[in-house]
Amino acid sequence: MTALLRRSPAGLAGGAILVLLAAVAVLSYAGLLPYDPIAQHPPSRFRAPSGEHLFGTDQFGRDVFSRAAAGVGNSAFVAVVAVAFATVVGTLGGLVSGFYRGVADGAIGGVTNVLFAFPPLLLALSLASVLDRNRFTIAVAIAIVYVPIFIRVTRGPVLSLREIEYVKAAVSTGLSRWQIMLRHVLPNITSIVVVQVALSLSWAVLTEASLSFLGLGTPPPAPSLGSMIYEARSLVFIAPWTLIAPGAVVVLLVVGLNLLGDGLRDTLDPRNRGKR
């Protein structure tokens, strides 16, 4: 972390944004928000932002700030679970596929191609209609969309790396394939994977938002940033804050994730270490 601090001001800024958002999300989990994000209070509908309601209130008189805060918690949970799943499965798949080639490559490539060739919307629609909808199944649905991306992005470089002299040299020293993969190949694709994780985290946040926006995300009344935008989309002339607040929070979250991802990459990438 100190290294990150020294090396990448952008990463630091990203980290700061995320810490801030995380703190707010923790508040929501701890029940320390100014208002109950679900309770309705019709008499105070459509209040503009003020000291009392930081981001104003929506058409049910619910506090938009409290809802956005709870929504961040939801979005972050879904994104992290989805990307963790996709990273592990996808990178492993890409490694095995690019390194072993042959049958393994064929099998993994086959599944990847099938998933890839499938329009994501249909996948999401189907999964959302078939599965019992909750935060976890939504995360899994998103992960399934991202696994093949990880496989594809890692497989190409692994194919290339396999031909490089020192890897060939390592093969001749009698190391097992798994040892070579983990010691010599994996570190060399780390930067690609990390960039992909950063991209995917932000994409996952956006995907979760889009899914909720299409009505396939977290079921109401539990707040999610996407469903807040969905509910507010047509209120933009009457109560613009109901749209701007969750919209801004989504963008902030995504920006924070991207900045942090860049910082991490600059710090973690072995070839950047010790330079500058």
Chain residues 63-102 in contact with another protein, contact rule CB under 8 A: none
Shortest spacing between CB 252 and another protein, in angstroms: 9
Rounded to whole angstroms, the Cα distance separating 8 from 183 reads 27
User: Total residues at the site for another protein (CB under 8 A)?
Assistant: 76
Q: Which residue, 28 or 210, has its beta carbon nearer to another protein?
A: 210
Could you tell me the two tokens for 194?
């990390």
Near another protein by CB under 8 A: residue from 88, 110, 166, 183: 110
Q: Which residue, 140 or 178, has its beta carbon nearer to another protein?
A: 140
Q: Which residue, 129 or 176, has its beta carbon nearer to another protein?
A: 129
Q: Which of residues 195-224 bind another protein (CB under 8 A)?
A: 195, 199, 202-203, 206, 209-210, 213-216, 219-221
Q: Which residue, 60 or 100, has its beta carbon nearer to another protein?
A: 60
- Under 8 Å between Cβ of 134 and 165: no
Rounded to whole angstroms, the Cα distance separating 133 from 113 reads 27
> Which x/- pattern, by CB under 8 A, does the window 10-29 give for another protein?
x-------------------
30 binds another protein (CB under 8 A): no
CA distances from 274 to 3, 6, 196, 271 (A): 11, 12, 23, 8
Q: Which residue, 51 or 117, has its beta carbon nearer to another protein?
A: 117
Shortest spacing between CB 77 and another protein, in angstroms: 19
Q: What share of the chain is helix, strand, coil (3-state, %, to 5)?
A: 75, 0, 25
Q: Tokens 């509908």 map to which residue?
A: 45
116 binds another protein (CB under 8 A): yes
Near another protein by CB under 8 A: residue from 153, 181, 228, 249: 153
Near another protein by CB under 8 A: residue from 121, 166, 179, 183: 121
Collapse the DSSP code of 38 into the 3-class scheme (helix H, G, I; strand E, B; otherwise coil) and give the result. coil
Near another protein by CB under 8 A: residue from 125, 140, 175, 244: 125
Rounded to whole angstroms, the Cα distance separating 254 from 213 reads 16
- Under 8 Å between Cβ of 61 and 118: no
- Under 8 Å between Cβ of 14 and 256: yes
Rounded to whole angstroms, the Cα distance separating 218 from 156 reads 36
